[in-house]
Homo-oligomer: A and B are copies of this chain.
Amino acid sequence: MIMTRVPMQIQLTQSKKEKPDPATLVFGKTFTDHMLIVDYEEGKGWHSHRIVPYAPLTLDPAAIVFHYGQTVFEGMKAYKSEEGTIRMFRPEENMKRLNYSLDRLCMPRIDEENALYALNQLLQIDKDWIPTLDGTSLYIRPFVIATEAFLGVAPAKKYQFFMILSPVGSYYKEGIHPVKILVENEFVRATKGGTGSAKTAGNYASALKAQEVADQQGYSQVLWLDGVERKYVEEVGSMNIFFKINGEVVTPAINGSILEGITRKSILQLLRHWEVPVAERKISMDEIRNAYENGQLEEVFGTGTAAVISPVGELNWDGYKMIIGNGETGELSKKLYDTLTNIQTGKENDPFNWVYEIKKHIAQLA
């Protein structure tokens, strides 16, 4: 890969923060010493790439992001291998998806290689923040917001692109364990023709109410159905979903309303490599229930950057409870989790060339 070298201003912090205890890290509450900022202005393009101390943003109260939600984001992780190298998992895919999301929201595309180059520099600077305890990682949040002060409903003429970093703990504090999921019949996350396939704020805001109702009933996430027929499975919480039915692994096909997860894509590749039968297609709740009744619903799991694999132990569909695999983690779910996390952290070979090593690019820098 050729790294485009944009001019980068680097201003290091004068007062490094104290690093948190890796054993008690929680998700998304602690941030590192530095962040990346890039400005955009119509006619001028993306400019003023800079790494600065992590600090509050200053925005006009009329900035479009506050009113009309023109914002997109990504989520990635960096790991430190036993040899001290910094590893990431398919970050090119995240940058590609960021541009897909930017297009959908009428926002200007970024240069994917420049963004990765900037991330390389940022990770070098804050590399001491990457935790090494088993299951921990450095979560990376790139995001773009519309900053123009204007109350008209129209694409902004000014934007800012940020990357912030947060050391995060293991998603499973007591090892991988299955969760209980409520099938959502009232609320809809997204519909074809909407923004469901883009990683944008509105999709998450609209999900909060359903999540609140599920919480109250003792469920940790909701399973979203399609907004048109309310029959077909879409996503689970903010993850993609997979069902192992009678030996075949089925996941909803990309249809314009679900997010095309990078973990989803990697799992499909891994399963095909293992010669496990897979299918990307529509899957209805009736089919799930039939499979369950016939004893063929073998495993259910969600996939995403945060949890990697999240096994589902119970599905509640309008009061009908399906207990999957005696509420325990299935064999395939476990194998996928172990293989993916081992590839990510460098404990296992990477036959697909998924891992992106930061040190390679460090060598290329000045």
Contact = CB atoms under 8 A, between A and B. Distances in A.
Interface of A: 27-29, 31, 35, 54, 56-62, 65-71, 73, 104-106, 139, 141, 143, 145, 149-155, 162, 164, 166, 186-195, 200-209, 211-212, 227-228, 237-238
A192 B201 contact: no
A84 B154 CA distance: 34
Contacts of A208: 68, 70, 105-106, 153-155
A205 B211 contact: no
Given A188-B192, A192-B188, A209-B104, A69 B27 contact: no
The quantity of this chain's copies bound in the complex is 2
Given A194-B191, A201-B67, A202-B206, A211 B54 contact: no
A238 B154 CA distance: 11
27 contacts: A27-B151, A27-B152, A28-B62, A28-B151, A28-B152, A31-B61, A57-B58, A57-B59, A59-B59, A66-B143, A67-B71, A67-B141, A67-B201, A67-B204, A68-B204, A68-B205, A69-B71, A106-B209, A186-B193, A187-B193, A188-B192, A189-B194, A191-B228, A194-B227, A200-B202, A201-B202, A202-B203
Contact of A202 (B35, B195, B212): B195
A366 to B, nearest CB: 27
Nearest to A238: B153
A82 to B, nearest CB: 27
A163 to B, nearest CB: 9
A190 B202 CA distance: 11
The 3 nearest A-B residue pairs measured at CB: A202-B202, A28-B151, A69-B201
A202 B204 CA distance: 9
A70 B205 contact: yes
A65 B62 contact: no
A152 B237 CA distance: 12
Contacts of A62: 28, 31, 141, 164, 166
A56 B58 contact: yes
A151 B141 CA distance: 9
B66 A201 contact: yes
A50 to B, nearest CB: 14
A153 to B, nearest CB: 5
Given A152-B27, A166-B151, A195 B204 contact: no
A297 B129 CA distance: 66
Contact of A143 (B67, B189, B200, B204): B67
A153 B145 CA distance: 18
Contacts of A207: 153
A203 B31 CA distance: 30
A68 B290 CA distance: 36
Contacts of A209: 104-106
A35 B61 contact: yes
Nearest to A106: B208
A60 B56 contact: yes
Contacts of A141: 62, 67, 151
Contacts of A149: 29, 31
Nearest to A199: B67
Contacts of A150: 28-29
A38 to B, nearest CB: 13
A234 to B, nearest CB: 12
B194 A61 contact: no
A61 B57 contact: yes
